[in-house]
Chains A and B, each alone.
Chain A
Amino acid sequence: MARGNTRSFGLGAAAALVYFFLYAPIAVLMIFSFNRSRLSARWLGFTTEWYGALWRNEQIFQSLLNSLIVALAVTLVCVIAGTLAALVSARARLRGRVWLDGLVYLPLVIPEIVIAVAMVVFFSLVHLDLSIWTIIIAHITFCLSYVIIVVGARLGGMDRSLQEAALDLGANEWTAFRRVTLPLAAPGILSAARLVFTTSFDDYLITSFVSGVSSTTLPLEIYSQLKRGITPEINAISSAILLATVPLVFIAQRLERGALKVRGALAGVAAVFLLMALPLVARTWPTERNRPQLNLYMWSTYVSPRVERGFEREFHCKVNYDLYDSNEALLAKLQGGNVDYDLVVPTDYMVEILIQQRLLAPLDKSRLPNAWANLDPRFRDLACDPRNDYAVPYAWGTTGLAYRSDLVKENVTSWDVMFDRRYAGHILLLDDAREVFGMALKKLGYSLNSTNPEEIRRARDLLLEQKPLVKGYNSSNFEQDLVAGDAWIAQAFNGNLTFAMRDEPRIRYVIPKEGCTISVDLISIPRNAPHKDLAHQFINYFHRPEVAGAFVNDSGFNSPNRFVARGVEPWILAQPAIFPDPASLAKCEFMHDLGPAVALYDRYWTEIKAR
């Protein structure tokens, strides 16, 4: 049987390779959770500091708690409702079976993204506020079918004579159900429950569409952390969760094979959960629940623990924040009309849109003395909100050109390098229609606020021509691509580069001679904000020079507070990318809302991306 052995060996080797493929990324993430470097790409030595940082990170624990609540609620509802339905669907003969099966299988057949968008337009239609409840509803919708199918299959394959025998032996129906049907269905129910729990716990796509105020789940938190580039903590929590769940999977599997008594297994599951819950409760308990809450919705790059914790301490409240990565995501959430944030931080042109759409509340200017006293005059009365009736500048920056001076060996002063064939495959653009078109329009010598269809079309043609040179589109963590050498040249928000340039001094930033965008993000209060008082207090607090300084130190973005330099660490002050000389700023242009022309930009943008 030598031949059989070789074949077995071949089979074993192939399987081993597949297992290696399955576990390589997991090994990498575990190893890198001990990496000293913040940017996971390089190994800089062993450390356990990320596990410490994880322990101190309240936001992650809160999101973990949200995820557990959602997954447990979803599992409970799905298992009960699904098992009841499965008792019917398992029966061989049933009128309307085709329709029932169709309805049950449809959620599994339809791509997840379609369910996500259907849910989000529906919730907006019926004015259901986006919250942890909408997440639970959406998850139940796509998980219920799993239970009906899995438990139905188990019951369908069951020998009905067993149940009849029990009845013949004098058991009443309830006893027969409890003692015969249920134990036989139990493995199916368990594996369905496991499937539902994992699916719900790990869902990003649907959750990202239907989440609302402080209902950030772990996958959402992980996504925004990935986008911010603070990854070792995420590696740490993934490793921790993996280690905590291995015994759970183990117990569930033994139970399904009937190797364990249900009672013993439940005790085991309970023990593991308690073990997981203890640190969770310890971390989330001390925050007093009845303190007033302030709900922020802001850029993922603007998180500043010193600002938020300081405000909490001084004003005896709790600051919750959810994060977005594009102005359009913010607009989409506010336009739905079913989410209540107290403060948002849109960019200038988006402020125009939000005002025009009546989505912002007017400010009570008398309550913001710090803002008026400390705001740099350059950023007062901007075109987007001429009398600062609705919004106060929060942070500002430029969108210029970043490059690796060791890889691009020329003196870069112009957008031209973005169109240079020598750098094909190393050019990164922002994943942002207005910014990318802005670059093309500037290179062609037009205004980046052009509404002339001919100019916009020329910009599109230029970008289509450039597309083969482009490596990718990235608005959020392009600086990691620069540090790792994946990109040599990138269109960049200057603030994202602050920490990257510290880690990799060969990254340079220029404001191209053709000009580029200067943008201001303004803090404003949505019309239906529930805590407008506290929101005003936050804006006023934020414009104290020392608080603005703390913001710059944490986020790397510049502040429009004219006394900010007092509170900023010297090495950031010395960065010309963040604190540029006024002359180079003269070439920069603010973006404006373009009204109906936006539709043209959006359409061309889809064309460029789809090519």
Chain B
Amino acid sequence: MLAANFGGAHPPSQVDGGASCSRFSNRMEQVLQFFRNRPTLRTTALLSSSLVWLVGFFLVPLLYLLAVSFAARSPYGTIEWDLGLRNYLRAFQPLYLETYWRSLWMALLTTALCIVLGYPVAYLIARRVSRRWKSALLLLVVIPFWTSFLVRTYAWMVILRTEGVVNNLLLSLHLTHEPLRLLYTPLAVFIGLVYGELPFMILPLYTVLEKMDPSLLEAAQDLGATQVSTFLRVTQPLSAPGVVAGAVLVFIPSVGAFITPDLLGGARTMMVGNLIQNQFALVRDQPFGSAVAFLLTFVVIAVLLGTLRNAQRATREVF
């Protein structure tokens, strides 16, 4: 039963029709003919399921959340419809600004680190290895996704503990005399974030580097460019859309991260994701949590708007 369901997720594209299907084909043909002469209706019909869903289960909840962000909180954590700007005013207190700032630079640093680590890998896969190696290496980038993110994060806890893998190694090699403090530090949060998001950088980079026309590189070399300047003047600009797409894909989840700071940061390095989550799950201040959530959304969209056109094109190219 499971297999049948999964099979259903794929179009039976190359499965041959045969006689039993001809009635179905005729019916479908009639439907398509009907829509052919009514293009507006056709567009509406094709879009309707997705549109209804996105409006009903995404836009409406989001607007309701926006309304909640102007409401007040009762002592017991229920919502009181006493509308005002108080949550937004509170959200701009210096204390919280510090949290946003921390999230922002941690996300930016994570993005930068992902570019630095992801570029060589993407470049190697796209331009330096044979076709067989290419698919094997790409597969190796994807496979970690098939283990639970939580378990991979937990594995890092085991590695970074005071009596963990890294410290045991360092101590047995006499590189340190005292175990290093690694777990529950911002460094651990960084490692977790970069680890979780790195493949999102490698894949888009790979896609653009792969499509790059090798004759451009040859032309640059023929014109006497050194390898460094070829890279800076040809490869790098041509791969820019991939960098942008990757940066967008890495930045968004990092800036709203919640599990990684909780597990690897010991809930001590609070990021804006934790602030929001705490408001909903622990201190039950839903209106304030909603206000912070919307501020985060606005910031993310503002950051993206500048790059959105690029990002959009790049995202399309990537897939």
Contacts and interface: CB of A to CB of B under 8 A. Distances in A.
Contacts of B270: 609-610
B14 A189 contact: no
Interface stretch (B81-89, B119-127, B233-241): B119-127
Most buried by A among B14, B143, B146, B184: B146
Contacts of B146: 198, 241-242, 245-246, 249
Contact of B142 (A23, A249, A332): A249
Contacts of B32: 172-174, 177
A369 interface: no
A106 B58 contact: yes
B191 to A, nearest CB: 9
A602 interface: yes
B152 A25 contact: yes
B144 A26 contact: yes
A182 interface: yes
Given A219-B150, A261-B14, 8 more contacts: A41-B163, A118-B65, A121-B68, A234-B151, A253-B135, A270-B3, A472-B184, A485-B162
A249 B143 CA distance: 8
B10 A193 contact: yes
B29 A241 contact: no
Nearest to B158: A40
A25 B270 CA distance: 24
B8 interface: yes
A226 B150 contact: yes
Given A85-B51, A140-B53, A173-B33, A76 B58 contact: no
Interface string A93-112: 01000001101111111111
A41 B147 contact: no
Contacts of A149: 315-316, 319
A602 B283 contact: yes
Contact of B75 (A24, A331, A599): A599
A400 B154 CA distance: 27
Nearest to A81: B49
A474 interface: yes
26 contacts: A3-B227, A15-B121, A18-B117, A28-B159, A72-B6, A84-B49, A103-B59, A104-B50, A105-B312, A111-B255, A115-B58, A118-B62, A177-B32, A189-B11, A205-B259, A241-B147, A249-B139, A269-B3, A273-B6, A471-B266, A485-B161, A595-B75, A596-B75, A602-B282, A605-B283, A609-B267
B38 to A, nearest CB: 14
A209 B301 CA distance: 24
A183 interface: yes
Contacts of A262: 10, 12-15
A14 B46 contact: no
Interface in A583-611: 595-596, 598-599, 602-603, 605-607, 609-611
Contact of A250 (B139, B162, B256): B139
Contacts of A271: 3
A141 B60 CA distance: 12
A19 B47 contact: no
B29 to A, nearest CB: 4
A21 B193 CA distance: 13
Interface in A25-82: 25-26, 28-29, 32, 40-42, 68, 72-73, 75-76, 79-82
A304 interface: no
Interface string B85-110: 00000000001101100000000000
B102 to A, nearest CB: 9
Interface stretch (A150-158, A306-314, A518-526): A150-158
A607 B36 CA distance: 61
B287 to A, nearest CB: 10
B253 interface: yes
* Interface SS majority for chain B: helix
A530 interface: no
B61 A122 contact: yes
A109 B158 contact: no
Interface stretch (A4-12, A380-388, A493-501): A4-12
A323 B307 CA distance: 42
A121 B284 CA distance: 12
Contacts of A108: 252
B276 A141 contact: no
A186 interface: yes
Interface in B12-64: 12-15, 17, 25, 28-29, 32-33, 36, 43, 46-47, 49-51, 53-55, 57-62, 64
A174 B25 contact: yes
Contacts of B250: none
Interface string A231-257: 100110011011001100110011001
B267 A472 contact: yes
B111 interface: no
Interface string B285-318: 1100110011011001100100000001001110
Contact of B165 (A28, A254, A471, A596): A28
Interface string A216-234: 0011001100100001001
Nearest to B181: A425
A198 B185 CA distance: 29
Given A82-B50, A172-B29, A177-B32, A109 B304 contact: yes
Contacts of A242: 143, 146-147
A22 B120 contact: no
Contacts of A537: none
A109 B53 CA distance: 17
A162 interface: no
B7 interface: yes
A192 B162 CA distance: 41
Contact of B149 (A80, A156, A204): A204
Given A269-B3, A473-B266, A484-B163, A109 B300 contact: yes
A125 interface: yes
A150 B319 contact: yes
Nearest to A357: B76
A41 B253 contact: no
B141 A219 contact: no
A610 B96 contact: yes
A76 B9 contact: yes
A328 interface: yes
B259 to A, nearest CB: 6
Nearest to A157: B316
Contacts of B163: 41-42, 484-486
Contacts of A19: 121, 140
